[in-house]
Structure 1
Amino acid sequence: MRDQDFLNHFLEKGYFKDYSRVVLALSGGLDSMFLFHLLSTYQEELGIELFLAHVNHKQRLESDNEEYELRKLAEQVGVPIYVAHFTGDFSEANARQFRYDFFREVMEKTSSTALVTAHHADDQAETIFMRMIRGGRLQHLSAIKERQEFDKGELIRPLLSFYKRDFPEVEHFEDRTNKENHYFRNRVRNIYLPQLEKENIQLKRAFLEFGKEVSDYQIALTELSQTVNVGDLTQFLSFSEATQRVLLQQYLSRFADLNITKEQFQQVHHILKTKSQYRHRLKNGYELVKEYQHFKICKIRPKSDEKSSECVLNYQNQVHYEGYLFSFGIPLKGENVQKMNVSRETSLILRHRQPGDYLIKNGHRKKLRRLFIDLKIPKEKREKAIIIEQFGKICSVLGIKISDLSKKMKNDIMNTVLYIEKIDR
């Protein structure tokens, strides 16, 4: 294929129309060197300023020489290059993490918002097949995306529609370890796929079409499930178990770094069907929080001792406390202002719940613990509940319940009003 064919494809797809500063991940192999040739040759046509990012993994004798040659080539072409040397225990996963962390740094240094890699159709087919062998979920068998969010910008793979055989020969480095079969991808590339292609010469194309079909199903499911509030268990559990599993998978896919196993998925589904209130630690800093008829997946928040201590509010004074403005006897106006009858004889105490707390309701003592359970108040909301106390007794649990004490103040000669306005909406 001619260079012009690739350029026309890039322009037609509009890969770079929103990006003026672009970082290219340059390994030195044929695919990335050809992409370097295209992007550096047609910078003006594409409207981009190009930067290079190369990682010397220090795993081969040739690595330092390749780094030297790439630096020299970048200088000749007039394109800035940034280089990092891999450190730590080498593995495919560690090396990949190191590379992409470095690419983020380069994007930050160069104020670039696009990272470009030279992944092609052969890489796509290999990845789908590898995921099949590993036993991944259906959603993980979808095609690699041409474009996806990355850091503060986008990761673009402009060569995904082309096979490696489509690339013309350009100066590049051959990595002899690509012929060794210590690594899983090399075994797939050098042994498994060639053997299977004897049965079906179009096997790679079949994998690509399969991945595209899975991607289409995922997009369709996302669109069709937009009207379903998965976190509402009344709605979620009204569907068949098969539909529940699909909806749950769609919900979990929102958390890119979660990646729970099949066993963990089954455990989460079981909790949603059987538990009333439950917190379950997942992985990578996430937890499942189930509270009566709702659930959510969220990052585990570190414990903090920064909860506001109790606050004393005197008559004819105002105070901000836990996102509210409390005004003792000084009127506040507005549709969001709550009013509560209190006495002006003594100060009010604003605080959070304490062991043994109770309020008087219908002439009887009601422990807050039992009140919260009866009203099915989520645990998180219980901890944040604001207690309004006067005369050593609870007048109200803000937004949840008012005690008899407050009601008795309505006709008392010393009656006044506590005005409460939420200010951090």
Structure 2
Amino acid sequence: MWKSVSTFVDQYKLIPFNSVVVVGVSGGADSMALLHFLDSMKEARNLTLVVAHIDHMFRGKESEKDMMFVKEQCERRNLLFEGEQIDVTSYKELEKISAQVAARDCRYAFFKKVMEKYGASVLALGHHGDDQVETILMRLGRGSSMKGYAGIFPKRLFNNGHIVRPLLSVTKDEVLAYVKENDVRFRHDPSNDKDMYRRNRVRHHVLPLLKQEFPNLHQKFQSFSEQIQEDEQYLEALTEKEWNTVIKSKEKERVVLNRKPLLLMAKPLQRRGIQLILNYLYNNEIPPSLSSLHIDNFLSLLESEHPSGSLHFPKGLQIIRSYHECILTFDKVESDAYKFHLEVPGVVTLPTGDSIISEIWTHAKQEILQNNQAAFDVSNTSTPLYVRTRMEGDRIKLKGTNGSKKLKSIFIDCKIPKLKRDTWPIIVNENNEILWMPMIKRSSFEATEETVGPVLVITCKMSQKFGRQQENE
């Protein structure tokens, strides 16, 4: 095992010389074998090892004994030790997620904290070749992205450094032979013997049959993983170039996409582009519960003939489509109604950041009014005036016609994004009659060329933007 792992470490440059390495150690055979291996090479590479152990508190006193065992082993080896007990069950119930996902979240948060404490750039974990086979099989079974089908990476970005897995080149049997040969003590977790978890069922019943038929199975799966990773690196670079036309805006927790150019791309680039955006939003830590089904649903939403729709992804990510714009955001989407008294003259600043200004002019010809202004005969305008959001059943008497039209229909006809309709300002008089839909439609209440005398001019300064000016239609 020593030779295989050493070659693998050098091939992928997993353990840099003169580095601080945090080693995730549960106390089981795999992690204790990894710790022994790294401890044996620390002087040659001038490594500082920090052992990190988390007690998930699933097994009461037994898991507490695991932590004490790891701590004692570190004291014997004169290694730095960081241990923590975390009530994962409470976290699981709070977040409404599975026990395995909750344990993973807590574990990696702890590892990150330890790395930052010691300024470590490497986190070493004890996954071996059999784990690689199990992971790829399970992802093929449940569905994943092509990157997901590549399984466990020998080295990947994490925090301000990398996660490395030196034991991927060897099997579980080789690990057990190594600990026996080197008299490495370890603890046994009885939960690994139970078939209540899918991974355990695959490990106990599927993997032995496959290994019997294909003795070098782990090597073939590792080779498959590496080929997928190489292909993905090339296609991701191509995707990033193509997606420059798709991304309209990109913030830390919010990305806005342009639907049209996305749908013109080849399907493989669509999928990879979505995956890249998800990686960005999830900060390269996509939840295990997010699968290929989510990507399929995303594409279906984009391809749908219906102009709007939404999806809810893990950890509160919302996917909101409105016409040819698609928003991915962790922000809570607000659609709170409002109503404000508009003084004459006066200014109202709205929750959206828009502002409505009212002024009295001695006269106003239509040709000098801007698109964001409307004028009303003071003598024929009922006050007080209000700025509010739309209400059920709202209708506007349109300028130049004898009829009225529902605001809902106007928003749809003018392709106003669904998210903006509930906060769009509407100007009404004391009788709740709609005087103006700023930037969209004018009403029959507006002043005409024949109007004589002072006029009320209302100006709308909007932070919201959309593609077409509709007022003059």
- Provide the C-alpha distance between the structure 2 equivalents of 1:245 and 1:278, rounded to a whole number of angstroms: 24
Q: In the TM superposition, what whole-angstrom CA distance separates every residue of 1:402-424 from its partner, at most 9, and x where no partner exists? A: 44544638975313644444569
1:328 maps to which of 358, 363, 367: 358
Match status 1:342 vs 2:375: yes
CA distance in 2, matches of 1:16, 1:384: 58
- Aligned with residue 247 of structure 1, among 270, 274, 278: 270
Tell me the CA shift for residue 311 of structure 1. 1.4
Q: Which residue of structure 2 aligns with residue 354 of structure 1? A: 391
Q: Which residue of 1 aligns with 2:401?
A: 363
Pick from 153, 163, 167 the counterpart of residue 170 of structure 2: 163
Amino acid at match of 2:99: N
Q: Map of 1:364-383 to 2, 5 A cutoff?
A: 364=402, 365-383=404-422
- 2:216 corresponds to: 202
Percent of residue pairs bearing the same amino acid type: 20
Question: Corresponding residue for 1:292?
Answer: 323
Match of 1:81 in 2: 82
1:388 maps to amino acid: I
Instruction: Quote the Cα distance in structure 2 between the aligned partners of 1:400 and 1:44.
Output: 73
Whichever residue aligns with residue 425 of structure 2, its letter is I
Equivalent residue number for residue 424 of structure 2 = 385
Task: Note the C-alpha offset of 1:302.
Answer: 6.9
Are positions 1:217 and 2:247 aligned together? no
Q: Deviations over 1:346-366 (max 9, x none)?
A: 654221112323142323433
Total equivalences in the alignment: 410
Shift, 1:210, TM fit: 1.4
Name the CA shift for 1:49/1:413 in 2 (closer, same or farther; >3 Å). farther
TM-aligned CA deviation for residue 221 of structure 1: 3.3
Q: Evaluate the alpha carbon distance shift between residue 159 and residue 127 of structure 1 in structure 2; reply closer, same or farther with a 3 A threshold.
A: same
Change over 3 Å in CA distance of 1:98–1:224 after alignment to 2: same
* Separation (CA, whole Å) in 2 of partners of 1:4 and 1:198: 23
- Which consecutive unaligned segments of at least 5 residues does structure 2 have? 93-97, 248-256, 279-285, 362-369, 466-473
The equivalent of 2:126 in structure 1 is: 118
Please give the TM-score of this superposition, normalised by the length of structure 2: 0.67
Equivalent of 1:94, from 94, 99, 105? Answer: 99
SS at match of 2:215: coil
Q: CA deviation at 1:6?
A: 8.1
Tell me the secondary structure at the aligned position of residue 218 of structure 2. Answer: helix
Alpha-carbon shift at residue 338 of structure 1 (Å): 7.3
> Is the 2:5–2:167 contact (alpha carbons within 8 Å) kept by the matching residues of 1?
no
User: Which moved further from structure 2: 353-362 or 161-170?
Assistant: 161-170
Contact 1:338 1:419 in 2 (8 A): no
- In the TM superposition, residue 343 of structure 1 has moved relative to its aligned partner by 5.0
* Separation of aligned partners in 2, 1:137 and 1:8: 27
Distance 1:10 1:84 in 2: 36
* Aligned partner letter, 1:216: E
Q: Deviations over 1:253-301 (max 9, x none)?
A: 7443362565x76666555444323435555455554433444555694
The separation in 1 between residues aligned to 2:155 and 2:427, in whole angstroms, is 53
Alpha-carbon spacing, 1:398–1:154, altered in 2? closer, same or farther (3 Å):
farther
**Residues of 1 paired with 2:375 and 2:157: CA distance?**
54
CA gap of 1:136–1:110, structure 2 versus 1, over 3 A, is closer
Matched, 1:142 2:150: yes
Contact 2:56 2:85 in 1 (8 A): yes
Q: Secondary structure at the match of 1:408?
A: coil
Which amino acid is 1:279 matched to? G
Determine the structure 1 residue equivalent to 2:66: 66
199-208 vs 114-123, which moves further: 114-123
Alignment-derived partner of residue 334 in structure 1: none
Q: Distance in 2 between matches of 1:33 and 1:323?
A: 58
Q: Partners of 2:44 and 2:345 in 1: how far apart?
A: 70
> Is residue 2:441 matched to residue 1:401?
yes
Name the stretch that deviates more: 346-355 or 163-172.
163-172
